[in-house]
Amino acid sequence: MTNNNTEITKGKAGRPTKMTDEVVKKLIACFSNGFSDQLACDHVGIDKVTLYNYCDKRPEFSTIKERLKKNPVAAATLNIVKAIDSGDVKASQWYLERKCKDEFSTRTENTGENGEPLQIPTLIIEGAKFDNMKTIENDKN
């Protein structure tokens, strides 16, 4: 005898998935804002393994997810280009320092003689132990 109030779904055993349409939509919004997998999962209340299992079963979602994560980078790049186009000298300088490092970087590299590693002198006090350091300091005064 079959109960008419109970819906029988063939081939579906176990507990229901946490990856509902609503959860997937929230994940898409998170990834569009550059969230990491962990942060997005925490935000929507699922385990990272649940997301990875979902991606394994739906590789197209995994591809979309990785593309969406790049949205903030694209938006930031457009903002920088707009600032440069409007004549913002600081934005131009910042961009050149990062994109043309060989020519415009403000980084200085300290090396030793003939490009060798920089030698840092170390003072070694023979027979000194950590407990004796207080005595050595007191002797100086």
For position 7, what pLDDT does the model report?
37
Long-range CB pairs of 7-14, under 8 A, 24+ apart, other chains included: none
The yes-or-no verdict on residue 10 having pLDDT over 50 is: no
The yes-or-no verdict on residue 47 having pLDDT over 70 is: yes
How confident is the model over 75-128, as pLDDT tens digits? 999 999 999 999 999 999 999 999 998 888 887 778 878 888 888 887 777 766
Cα separation, 96 vs 74, in Å, equals 18
Q: Helix axis angle, 37-44 relative to 48-57, nearest 10°? A: 110
For position 134, what pLDDT does the model report?
55
R_g of the chain computed on alpha carbons: 30
Q: Helix axis angle, 21-32 relative to 59-68, nearest 10°? A: 30
| Exposure of 50 in the CB half-sphere (CA atoms within 13 A) | 17
For position 137, what pLDDT does the model report?
53
Arithmetic mean of pLDDT, 36-45: 97
> Cβ of 109: how many Cβ atoms within 10 Å?
7
Cα separation, 54 vs 43, in Å, equals 17
From the number of C-beta atoms within 10 Å of its C-beta (0-12, 13-18, 19+), residue 51 rates as buried
For position 73, what pLDDT does the model report?
94
Residue 11 banded pLDDT, cuts 50, 70, 90: very low
pTM of the model: 0.60
Share of the chain above pLDDT 90, in %: 57
CA angle 127, 131, 133 (to 5 degrees): 70
